Structure 1
């Protein structure tokens, strides 16, 4: 089945040219983030000049730069939040968390001890309590 004999609609041909200008769209489809149908519909409705087509690129035109910037922004935001925290409040929350973890560990150890005791009791009891022997 080849498309050599078939002519494409002019809008489909324009879309193919548009995709050639924006190779990051091919990567989106291959990564499973979107489909060709969805991209075509968005392109048809929004046009070529919409900011959606440049959203995956930074000013330099590389996606990696955008990812680096977003991760560094995230780290800066975390750092700023840590600087603004009260050390005494952090210590209080950490001690509460430690107590909660200790309580969970205690409950788990009780369940494990009960499970061991039951298995030991089951092993010490005979398999059939009404075993009769012939004389």
Structure 2
């Protein structure tokens, strides 16, 4: 039972399923005991939930210097490409009032 409680704490979306009446705790516990926590049934809950700590872990592992250098490189490439692109001026008719 303690293993199931610890497992449920890692996936808060399961609590929502019980609160919404889709499952009971008994049903989920029996499923956990029969099939274990590696069953594909749990994958939808594991993948659909990204908690704040998970997002912070991702942000913590981002190398901001490398990201900044990548953006600088991309900006240089775009500037270079823009020099090759010919910008056409809109064709205006130089008609005067007396051309009518």
> Normalising by structure 2, what TM-score?
0.45
Q: Higher relative contact order by CA 8 Å / sep ≥ 6: 1 or 2?
A: 2
